[in-house]
Structure 1
Amino acid sequence: MARNRVRIARVPSLLALSLSTALLLTATACGSGDKDAAGGPDSGAGGKNGDGPVVVATTTWEGAFAKAAGAEDVTVIVPSSARHAPDYDPRPSDLAAVAAADFVLYAPFEPYAEKIRQAAGSSAKLVEVALDNDAGKASAEVTRLGALFGTEDAAARWNTSFKSTYGTLQKDLKAAWPGGRAPAVVAQVFSVWSARMTGANVTGTYGPEAVTAGQLADLAKKKPSYVFDNVHMTTGEVLPDAGAEQVGIVNYPGEDLDLLAVYKNAADTIEKAMTA
């Protein structure tokens, strides 16, 4: 089986920056060919390299969905070290990778999405990805991408593995409930999925915008045992005086683009907090 080729786009020098900019302009100007031609993005698994679809993903989150769906040639624009990926400003050499892509994956909340659209021209198929680690939504998105890539079998195998792993994590977390009862949790909106995996009682949510004093007061009244925060969009300690333990949840996969690891790591973090 071919191994996944995961690349993080980089800018090695000013010369490379100039060359990649020229490449980008040339590719965009010449990218008006028929998408349905052999090897074009609409031909699915054939791809431009003949070994499957060539995918460019804005972040490791989209990249992990692509890998789960069966893509083996994935380039990621925003490095995994970026603390807040939506704030990253793609450089010309980052965008140049789009010229060789069959599919370009992005999320609508990323402010650089318009730059990605412009860079893609007409040669790559733009795919908006619903970034949500909710189990049902993630499974559905992997299935959808597999159908787009022509890698349905690989996507189905991932979903089978995911279902088994997720079920095990749920059982382990339930066994770790303090006092044998589902804990009360306040969660950042993009971390609700982890509370659902835990089987927690979600008494309130906050974010992604800054939390107001009034909202904090309302959340404190819920008397949660835990606050499931979003590490990549944290606003600091949410309920410091309410006696609730804040647990940092990571949504973005690492450079290995292992989506299953996101669930495993979150479960491990939550279990440690509940059994401390």
Structure 2
Amino acid sequence: MKLGIVALGAVLVLTACGDAQGTAQQATGNQGKKVVAATAWEGALAKAAGAGEVKVIVPASVVHAADYEPKPSDLVAVSEADVVLYAEFEGFAGKLKEAAGGDARVEAVVLDNKPDVVRSEVRKLAALLDTKQAAEEWIAKFDRKISELSVRSKGKVVSQAFVTYMAEITGLEVVGTFGPQPITPAQVADLAAKEPALVLDNAHMPTSGGVLPDTGAKQVEIVNYPGADLDLLSVYTTNADRITAALG
């Protein structure tokens, strides 16, 4: 098996275009296992769980990470990993699983920024990496951040289905949702009738032309993925600040 992996790596290196931007993002922590994460979202959860070396396949600058096409150099990184993390909805997940070495642990991660899901996924990864203490320390920081942002705002909002968590955390009332399917004229009319103060749209799959452009509702782009620093807490802070600014 090892000879097969080496041979695969050699072929892929020879055909690689030389751009290793996607696999160069790293985070340091307390664990020695090599972790390759499909995106910065999985990478941030691994970092929160206490992972040491984390390499991310999709550059953080890619808006819709699920549609990314892995490069040969990305697949080489996967073949050398001890742990490979992906999400089921990612179109390239199959390629990562195929490229993983025979000794690698390949794990599907639930990507959802609702606090209870985040805690569950961080603890699951900590059990895999044997970093439970580091994970619990991070979860304590996470709980403080969520408490800090809770009941921060008041008002009615309509929200894209994948970002309602921010309305719930900041104390906003969700009076309607839309997506991920394209929004219809009937939905627009229904949502407008609810007279929301804000529209929370998904920054990673934004609605073309806006959701309620002819109403007084302000549209806020909510991010789900962290940046190249893999700091998941910054996602919540950024979104809360955007909501506060929109509310004036």
- Give the structure-1-normalised TM-score: 0.78
Q: Provide the secondary structure at the position in 1 that maps to 2:91.
A: coil
Q: Does 1:201 align with 2:181?
A: no
Deviation of 1:134 after TM superposition, in Å, equals 0.7
Q: How many residues align?
A: 225
Query: Are 1:18 and 2:14 matched, yes or no?
Result: yes
Q: Is the 8 A contact 1:250 1:266 kept in 2?
A: yes
- Is 2:160 the counterpart of 1:188? yes
Aligned position for 2:225: 252
Residue in 2 aligned with 1:55? 35
Structure 2 CA distance, aligned partners of 1:139 and 1:262? 15
Native 8 Å contact 1:20 1:96 kept in 2: no
* Residue of 238, 259, 263 corresponding to 2:236: 263
Q: Which residue of 2 aligns with 1:165?
A: 145
For residues 146 and 31 of structure 2, what CA distance do their matches in structure 1 show?
A: 30
Which of 66, 91, 100 is matched with 2:80 structurally? 100
1:137-196 per-residue CA deviation (whole Å, 9 max, x = no partner) reads: 11111111111111010000000011011101115x2xxx3xxxx311111111111111
1:125 aligns with 2:105: yes
The whole-number CA distance in structure 2 between the counterparts of 1:103 and 1:233 is 28
Question: Which has the greater radius of gyration?
Answer: 1
Alpha-carbon distance between aligned partners in 2 of 1:80 and 1:150, rounded to the nearest angstrom: 27
Q: Which residue of 2 aligns with 1:6?
A: none
Question: Secondary structure at 2:204's aligned position in 1?
Answer: helix
Distance 1:62 1:233 in 2: 18
Amino acid at match of 1:256: D
The 1:121–1:20 alpha-carbon spacing in structure 2 relative to 1, beyond 3 Å, is farther
Larger deviation: 119-128 or 135-144?
119-128
Indicate which of 54, 57, 65 corresponds to 1:74: 54
- Unpaired runs of 5+ residues, structure 1, are 1-14, 22-49
For normalisation by structure 2, the TM-score amounts to: 0.86
**2:69 counterpart of 1:89:** yes
Q: Give, in whole Å, the separation in 2 of the partners of 1:193 and 1:69.
A: 21
- AA at the equivalent of 1:130: V
Q: Shift of residue 102 of structure 1?
A: 1.2
Residues 213, 141 of structure 1: CA spacing in aligned structure 2 closer, same or farther, 3 A cutoff? Answer: same
Instruction: Show the counterpart of 1:241.
Output: 214
Is 1:218 aligned to residue 190 of structure 2? yes
In 2, the alpha carbon distance for the partners of 1:184 and 1:101 equals 46
**d(CA) in 2 for partners of 1:108 and 1:91?**
19
Q: Which amino acid counterpart does residue 238 of structure 1 have in structure 2?
A: V
2:5 alignment partner in structure 1: none
Unaligned 5+ residue runs, structure 2?
A: 1-10, 18-29
CA distance in 1, matches of 2:203, 2:67: 14
Residues 191 and 249 of structure 1 are in contact (CA less than 8 Å); yes or no, is this contact kept in structure 2?
A: yes
Following superposition, the deviation at residue 93 of structure 1 comes to: 1.0
1:112 positional shift: 0.5
Identity of aligned pairs, percent? 50
Say what the alpha-carbon RMSD is for the aligned residues: 1.8
Question: Which amino acid counterpart does residue 165 of structure 1 have in structure 2?
Answer: K
Deviations 1:5-59 (A, max 9, x none): xxxxxxxxxx9742669xxxxxxxxxxxxxxxxxxxxxxxxxxxx9522110010
Residue 3 (structure 2) aligns with: none
Deviates more, 1:69-78 or 1:206-215: 206-215
Residue 6 of structure 2 is matched in structure 1 by none
SS in 2 for 1:233: coil
